[in-house]
Amino acid sequence: MICAPKLEDSVIVASNERGELTEDERSRIIEHLQKGTEMMVYQQRAERFTVQVIMETMQVALIGSRDRIVKVLDIFELKELRQWETFQDFQRFNESSTFRKIFGLSEKEVQQDSKTCFTIFYGSEFMLKSLSLNADSVEDAEKWLTGLELLRQETLAAHTPEIIESWLRKKMYIDNTKKNSITLKELKSLLPQMNITVPDGRFLEERFVEVGAKDYVLDFQQFHKFYDLLIFENQEVLLEEFEKGPAAFTISNTNRPESSVLPLSDFQNFLLYRQKETWAKNLNKVQELMTIFINDTMRKTDYPKFTIGEFLSFLFSKENSIWDEKFSEICPLDMNNPLSHYWINSSHNTYLTGDQMRSESSTEAYVRCLRLGCRCIELDCWNGRDEPVIYHGGTMTSKIKFKDAVKAINDHAFITSEYPVVLSIEEHCDTTQQKVIAQMLKDVFQDKLLTKPLDPEAKHLPSPNQLKGKIIIKHQKISESDHTDKGNTAGKSKLNSFKNVFKKIGKPKENMVLEKEGELCIWDPIHMRFYKHDCVISDNKLYYSEEKEEDSPKEGSDLHLFEPWFHGRMAKGRITAKRLLHDFCKGRNGKDGTFLVRESDKFIRNYSISIWTRRRVQHYRIFWSSENGHASFFLTSKQCFPSMCALIEHYRQNLIEYDGLNLHLKNFLPRLNFVSHHQLGWFYSNLSQAKAEEYLLRIPRDGAFLIRQREEPDTFELSVRVEGVIKHYLIYRYNGKYVLADIYEFFRLEDMVSCFREQLFIGKIKLRYPVTPQLVERICMEDLLTCDGELYSEVHMVGQVPEDNPLGHQCKGVVDISKCNVARNAKYGRPLVVTLLNKENVKLIEFTCEILEQVEEWYQVVLNIIQSIIEKMENKTKIAVEMSDMVVYCQSIKKTLNTTFENYNCKEVRSFKDDDFTKKGNEVKPDCILEYNRIALSRVYPKGFRVDSSNFDPCPSWKLGCQMAALNFQTADKFMWLNSALFSLNGGTGYVLKPEWMRDPTKKKPSKQKIRIRVIAARHLPNSEHIISPFVKVELLPYTGARVDDYSFKTTFLNDNGLNPVWLGPRNPPKCFEVDEPDLAFLCFEVSEGDAFSDPKVLAQATFPVRGIRSGYRSVPLKNVFSENLELASLLVHVEHVEV
């Protein structure tokens, strides 16, 4: 067991992160590793060793005094390199003063540098071994990190002949001693390790003579030849397989591996007609493949020839694998379906390294699962002394800190796969520590954490592509029914300061309790300004009236809105104005006095004029004030004007003598896309009715309007939004006037709009929001850039206004504070603005007051209501609001099985024990479960009595469309083999698209298939203690019928041969399997050792989805029970897909 590291400074080393190396740089790094580097090595104790790479065997060796190799590890088993400062192995020795005294080191000498310390993780089981090292320099550490990663990648990509040579070198280096020869005596001791017995001593002596050995000593080349003879000895009979059938070829003199040859043309025909390899039509590719296995340079020509030994070596090689690698490739187009359309690689009790009673919990278990492609991991959270911990509650399993777990997850979540990770939190903490959990999740994951839906209105889950790099929280969420809406009674009092409002709108009901009342300035995102409203907070709701009539400028004061020199509100205000004027004047030799006018970006209802003078831009404030309904515009208070247009015209005729200026206004910079005055902003000369409706629906305000030209001459149409519905009214010209709805007559369209801006049109609505092209463009852009914008504010915030509200008929809208979050900050030129947001962080309303202290009072009332509601909800549900707010797409729902599929939405997750679907009393039809899993997610987990962490068969759950079958990754059993096989598809991303018939009820299942399998031979079967007597079991999983014999078969036992056993003859016939579910069927090859006195022991296995099985004579590369590759171990089988 290794100690759990702290991962704050972990660095995952990968070749692409360190950049592409030139061949010269690579060679220098590898040479450095071969020479060896003295380092401090941390194991049970800290010692200095020379760490060296042995290239012949592809191993890392620790070399002690007298060049004695004390430890080696295979680069083949290397899984990860991690660089950090505080790995506990290092930390433990740093803190030990005894350690320093023993080794005579000063404290400074043992202080570790994060860039010189690194750890190698290696092994072939679930929990990896570790070797912690500390180099003397950063340069040495970097070379080792880079070099080992290079060698790891090269080892994985190595061809079979290279692997055989490395394997033979390891066998020759007896007792980890580098040797270039091996004696007859040593070879006799070595044969059991090679998993074979020989008839007698004479057999070995004859082979020594045959390879040209002298004095019963073999050099490496002779040892290689001896191996070729030995491996061929029992398998020359296999060549008879190819003397019959399609593309048959006859080989004579087959008593030695090099005694006969197979020409290029025969091998090409073999690939085409026996192996069904269409690519073999390309002769160049066939030549390239043959060259890999030919060890004689003289035969690597344009027309290569295989020796029969090389041909057999090819048959057993990974290059001839039964698995079609195209099924292991990522298909990006397949990642655009909703999450519910995928099987998702999922773990149960992810933190455990063993059983559920006494095993260790470890952050490294999370790392291992994530790096194995798991995308849904479990965190069992419990109250700790000072902070939350993770362990299997009520047992003797050890505890780890929640904080350490999420840091490990953050560092490793997206190394193997970039697609989303689901954290399935099993919550046992009180609300206090839940709040700590929520804060830790935010602090650690930051923007990786998904906290709001991508599309709040979507009826389906987003796709893996849309959620790349995101962490999704699966947890219980406070539902709407859990919200308290009885009102906040704390601190309520009847107020009397609002008598003037109730004189106008009537008194509220006698039993209505008011918490706050007064006048608020509410931000209008359409006009982009504040309007005053009468407001009341009562029964946890904020009621607000129509905007109050303000002293508005009279005739002509807003004519500047239609002048080409007026640019309105500019993004980045003066910076943009300066850039535009500079570009305009510089290109035209601009004269002093060129100008533009814009809205001030600092002051409400004020403006700025930007003027080009002396080859630079100056900005001045134009003040606005209103008294008795009359507007005034001025640069200085000495001279006021009734309109902006009057002010500009005056300074065109007269000098501006102000703040050092002494010039006339001359040319102006015209507004982009300026329309002439007669068109205005709300008039469209070429717009269809459908497009008009689309524009108006984008503006979520009643009173939004536009006028458009109709196709008939002299006819127009007023389109206006009334109570959320778009209505159209005919306008036509008659006797020089514009007639609206056959009732109203006006000389100009502008007069019509001005009239109904002041009074109600059809007694219902005022024309309040002109839908201009600029407004539509801005709304569309905000639509693309943000989902929390004001675009949705009225849609979400205003429900049906109750008739008995405290504002009576004057009430325009209501916000339910109990369902809101609140924030406050400085914005829109005001020192304090209060924002109410819904639970998806969509803005509902923003308000302020003219007096700062009053804003604070309103904020405190709102905050007290929200905090009171939160406290009641948390007490009722035992769920912290902070945790609830993090739950978006994976809301854990608890329902009985028979009611769980009645009412649901795409954001819910249902969890089931592994036997829920099969136990008695289950009345749910499979079609109902499938239909649910098309929309929403489900997770199936092992039932409680599996204390040994055994797994259940995930196939029945997958067949019902359940996305997450959560298995114990630490348990090496057949069901984990199935899991590894399924998720080897689609590039090991952890997401596999379910078949079309599961996603679409109108599609049919694919037809049944048949596949015939024959086990022929094996090579390099693993052995741990002695020479094995193997047999092979082949199964088609899952079983879909009652007869077990229809889904499995076994070969015979072969005594004392794990190196090159052969299963031929009538006692080992082929087996034809009928595949009922081709999309969810697996072929499992299991190699076991057994005898008449003990149960079989599984030595190796290989499990594949049937959909990717290739025809012909194929190698089955074997894995151990943890689904880790075994070096060179393989079966040779014949596969035939039979037409049904």
**Residue 976 to residue 968: CA distance in whole angstroms:** 8
**Residue 135 to residue 29: CA distance in whole angstroms:** 15
Q: Is 796 a catalytic residue?
A: no
The CA-based angle 178-183-184, given to 5 degrees, is: 145
**Residue 594 to residue 664: CA distance in whole angstroms:** 9
- Provide the terminal-to-terminal Cα distance of the chain, rounded to the nearest Å: 52
Question: Among residues 534, 596, 535, which one has the least CA distance to residue 569?
Answer: 596
Residues 6 or more apart in contact with residue 57 via CB below 8 angstroms:
72, 74, 166, 169, 170, 173
Q: How many CB atoms lie within 10 A of CB 1098?
A: 16
Q: How does DSSP assign 1058-1125, residue by residue? A: SSS-B--STTS--EEEEES-GGG-EEEEEEEEEETTEEEEEEEEEEEEGGGBPPEEEEEEEE-TTSPE
Residues 6 or more apart in contact with residue 1106 via CB below 8 angstroms:
1009, 1011, 1036, 1075, 1078, 1081, 1082, 1083
**H helical segments located in 948-1057:** 955-959, 974-982, 996-999
The DSSP H or E segment spanning 1035 is strand 1030-1037
Strand partners, 814: 543
Secondary-structure breakdown of the chain: helix, strand, coil percentages, each rounded to the nearest 5: 30, 30, 40
Active-site pick, 32, 159, 341, 392: 392
Active-site pick, 348, 412, 567, 796: 348
User: Tokens for 504?
Assistant: 């106008």
CA atoms within 13 A on the CB side of 430: 8
User: Tokens for 627?
Assistant: 């008294």
User: Tokens for 710?
Assistant: 């109709």
The SS3 of residue 649 is helix
**Residue 301 to residue 354: CA distance in whole angstroms:** 55
The DSSP H or E segment spanning 417 is none
The SS3 of residue 754 is helix
Question: Among residues 62, 69, 56, which one has the least CA distance to residue 172?
Answer: 56
Quick one: residue 921, left, alpha or beta (phi over 0 = left, psi -120 to 50 = alpha)?
Answer: left
995 in Cβ contact with 1106 (< 8 Å):
no
| Active site amino acids | 348, 392
